[in-house]
Amino acid sequence: MKNVPTVFGEISKFFSEVRNEFAKVIWPTKQEFIGSIIIVLFIIAFFAIYLGVVDFGLSRFARSIFGRFGIY
């Protein structure tokens, strides 16, 4: 039980340092935040459409190849 006060002291020191580091962070403005979200959503939509088209094309290709052998 002798180490318990030092453990709580270390935890307190850790959270104090975390608070100090968060004070140094330059947070984005609301417009920057919304702009970033819009860009991320466009990128997600682009890759979703791209992967959907690739998946559709590869499945059609696989059906045409395997269909010849009666496998698919």
Distance CA 27, CA 55 (A): 39
Say what the pTM is.
Answer: 0.62
The domain containing residue 35 runs over which residues?
4-68
Number of domains in the chain: 1
CB 63 within 8 A of CB 71: no
Distance CA 35, CA 41 (A): 10
How much is the pLDDT for 3?
A: 61
Give Rg (Cα) of the chain: 27
Distance CA 11, CA 8 (A): 5
DSSP element (H, E) containing 41? helix 30-68
Ranges of residues in the chain with a pLDDT under 70 are 1-5, 72
How much is the pLDDT for 5?
A: 65
